[in-house]
Amino acid sequence: MTLDESAHRLGACAWVEERLFEILGRWVRASSDDRFSLALATAARHHAAHSLQLRALLPETRDHDPGALVSPPPDGAWADEGEWTAVAGSEDPASGFTTLRPMLAAHLTALESWLKDASPVRDGPGIRVVAAVLAEDHADRDLLEMASG
């Protein structure tokens, strides 16, 4: 994986983390289940922090503008922007979460793939950050699964 590929992949992951923060945060108040609302709020806060952590890893070079790197995954790899918008507009958080599941699974796979392709020399700090983000995203997904029950 080149620096350019790494940067674009991390930028897409940061974009997805931002969408997850927005979506889950919006659903907190809409949920009538206190347990699910608490799980949504917890996960939303984590996704906000993850976005900032991933943004901090983006290179700022003559060829890389960190702000421009934060963009939707290419070719709808997770889902296209319209699908994210549709999920975000869901009035029922429980059914919205059902729709979000495959998108979240694809995001976890993308983080795992980045880790697999990362180079300790080029990506040392990123490896630590992405591994922590991935672990917390898995834990949050499990929490949401249990709370949505």
Distance CA 78, CA 110 (A): 9
Predicted confidence (pLDDT) at residue 114 exceeds the cutoff of 70: yes
Mean pLDDT (the chain) is: 90
Q: Which two tokens stand for residue 96?
A: 């919205």
Instruction: Tell me, rounded to whole angstroms, the distance of Cα 38 from its chain centroid.
Output: 19
Burial class, 29, CB count within 10 angstroms (exposed 0-12 / middle 13-18 / buried 19+): exposed
Residues near 114 by Cβ (< 8 Å), separated by ≥ 6?
Answer: 1, 6, 9, 10, 13, 130
Distance CA 56, CA 41 (A): 23
> What DSSP designation does 75 have?
G
142 touches 101 (CB < 8 A): no
- What's the chain's Rg over C-alpha atoms? 15
Which pLDDT value is given to residue 78? 66
Residue-wise pLDDT tens digits, 48-69? 999 999 999 998 888 777 888 8
Which pLDDT value is given to residue 84? 79
Residue-wise pLDDT tens digits, 122-133? 889 999 999 999
Which pLDDT value is given to residue 47? 97
Residue-wise pLDDT tens digits, 5-24? 999 999 999 999 999 999 99
